[in-house]
Amino acid sequence: MKIPKWAEILFNKVLDDYEMEKPELVWRRYHKRKYNLRPKENGEEQLFVKPKSMYSSGHCSWKSQKIVITAGASRKDQKLCLLHEIAHWMTPYQKHSSIFWDKAFELYRKYKIPMRYATIRESLYMRGAASAYRRNVRSIKK
């Protein structure tokens, strides 16, 4: 799938702003339909359609020099996911450490992800994200 123009612009801007080497960006569409078999009813298997997820997912690999985004339905979530993976790129081998989360929330704030959304979304994903958000908010108020 072709990378959306807004994502390409954001990707280049962030990495240029931080003077970082650019990995390859791969953009995939979330599979809209997944057919799964339900248990047999009256001796017949039934198929059902799984709707497209609102949420995006991603992967950052220093080894292959790639960031891969699987885009969900929500543009806001796609943007958050892209910035999350860029934060991984900027903090190599940190996984989801406090160093990573501080960088992620710095990017969310700087590139205008609603902080309430980022906090809720990332807190669902990792508990350390909530601590990073609190550290980040305190640094703004100083």
The torsion of the CA quartet 91, 136, 124, 55, rounded to 10 degrees, works out to -70
Enclosing domain of residue 116: 5-141
pLDDT at 93 over 70: yes
Taking only the tens place, the pLDDT of each residue in 11-68 is 999 999 999 999 999 999 876 555 555 566 666 666 656 666 788 999 999 999 999 9
The CATH number of whichever domain residue 50 belongs to comes to 3.30.2010.10
With a CB cutoff of 8 Å and minimum separation 6, the contacts of 58 are 67, 68, 69, 70, 81, 82, 84, 85
> What pLDDT, on a 0 to 100 scale, did the predictor assign at position 55?
87
> What pLDDT, on a 0 to 100 scale, did the predictor assign at position 30?
72
Q: How many helices (DSSP H) and strands (DSSP E) are in the chain?
A: 5, 5
Taking only the tens place, the pLDDT of each residue in 77-86 is 999 999 999 9
Distance CA 29, CA 89 (A): 21
pLDDT band at 140 (very low <50, low <70, confident <90, very high): low
Cα–Cα distances in Å, from 98 out to 62, 127, 141? 19, 11, 20
Q: Are the beta carbons of 71 and 56 closer than 8 angstroms?
A: yes
> What pLDDT, on a 0 to 100 scale, did the predictor assign at position 16?
98
Distance CA 33, CA 46 (A): 15
Q: How many structural domains are present in the chain?
A: 1
